């Protein structure tokens, strides 16, 4: 069973930056894609950013000019660089891996941007 471990969340002022990390227990090229979802209070979990085995990236419209996703293949780690953070980015951020119609999730990390 693959395991994913997020780190890097916290409290940041509006306009600030954070980098989330997700360490995957297997080679990230074993998966069709890896990336990040988030769940804000009272909302459904939604895609933030993903990167597939070919290196193609997808972003939610609300973050695509502010967030970037990258991977370190040697460390089996996926990063989410978040810049120009806004209060509406406050959420629990979940790392995921996807293979053959199956998602595996990390435990989540809280990001809080006060208004």
> For residues 72 and 10, what is the distance between their CA atoms, to the nearest angstrom?
22
User: Would you call 67 helix, strand, or coil by DSSP?
Assistant: strand
Q: What is the DSSP letter of 102?
A: E
Output the pLDDT for position 71. 96
Output the pLDDT for position 66. 98
Output the pLDDT for position 61. 97
- Model confidence pLDDT, tens digit, residues 40-86: 999 999 999 999 999 999 999 999 999 999 999 999 999 999 999 99
Output the pLDDT for position 59. 98
Q: With contact defined as beta carbons under 8 Å apart, do 29 and 53 qualify? A: yes
Output the pLDDT for position 8. 97
- Model confidence pLDDT, tens digit, residues 10-40: 999 999 999 999 999 999 999 999 999 999 9
Q: In DSSP terms, which residues pair with 6 in a beta bridge?
A: 22
Place of tokens 């597939």: 52
């Amino acid at each position: 069973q693959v395991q994913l471990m997020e780190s890097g969340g916290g409290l940041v002022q509006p306009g600030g930056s954070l980098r989330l990390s997700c360490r995957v227990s297997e080679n990230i090229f074993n998966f069709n894609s890896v990336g990040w979802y988030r769940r804000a209070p009272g909302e459904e979990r939604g895609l933030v950013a993903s990167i597939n085995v070919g290196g193609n990236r997808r972003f939610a419209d609300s973050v695509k000019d502010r967030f970037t996703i990258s991977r370190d293949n040697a460390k089996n780690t996926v990063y989410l660089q978040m810049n120009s953070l806004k209060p509406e980015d406050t959420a629990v951020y979940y790392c995921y891996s996807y293979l053959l119609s199956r998602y595996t999730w990390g435990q989540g990390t809280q990001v809080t941007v006060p208004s």
